[in-house]
Amino acid sequence: MTSKIEHATQAKVKLMLLDWADAQALAKPIRTSVFIQEQHVPELDEWDAEDSTALHIVAFKDGEAVATARLTQMGKIGRMAVLKAHRQQGIGSMILVKLIEAAKQRGLQEIKLWSQTDAQEFYKKHGFTAQGDEFLDAGISHVEMRL
C-alpha cells in the first residue's frame, strides 16, 4: 500500500499528437539521446524526409518531454524512443496504443514497424507479428513486424 504522499508524487503521463513543426523541438532531443548518443546511430540516418509528413507523438511526465514516436502516412510506426530514466513505466505502451488508434482512425488496414530484435516481445504483446528475416538498419539488428 502506498501512502497518500507517494501516490500524490506519481506523475501522470500526457500524450500529444503533433505535426513535425510542433514536435521537432520536443522530439529531437529525445531521439538524439536515445538513438545517436546511446545506440550510436549515425546522425545522417536518424533524420529523414518522413518526419515532415508523419504524425508525431510526444509523451510528457511532470511537464518534461520523455518519449516520442511517429506514424508515417504509409502506416509505419517508427523512431520510438523513451529516455532511459523513464523506461519500464508503461510509457512506450501508451505511445504505441495511441499510434495504433490514430492509424485505425486514418483507415489504415495494416500497421508495420521495424523492431530492434531485442524489442520484439514488446511489440508482440501489442499484437504485432514478425515478418521475414532479421536485417541491419543503422548497424542494429531489426525485424519487420505487422499488425
Read off the pLDDT of residues 2-54 as tens digits, 9 standing for 90 and up: 333 333 334 699 999 999 999 999 999 999 999 999 999 999 899 999 999 99
Cβ neighbors of 13 (< 8 A, separation 6 or more) are 59, 60, 61, 66, 89, 90, 91, 94
* Beta strand extents in the chain (DSSP E only): 13-18, 55-61, 64-71, 76-82, 112-116, 129-137, 140-146
Give pTM, 2 decimals: 0.88
Cβ neighbors of 121 (< 8 A, separation 6 or more) are none
Q: What are the tens digits of pLDDT across the range 74-129?
A: 999 999 999 999 999 999 999 999 999 999 999 999 999 999 999 999 999 999 99
Which residues face 56 on adjacent strands?
18, 70
CATH architecture of 4-108: 3-Layer(aba) Sandwich (3.40)
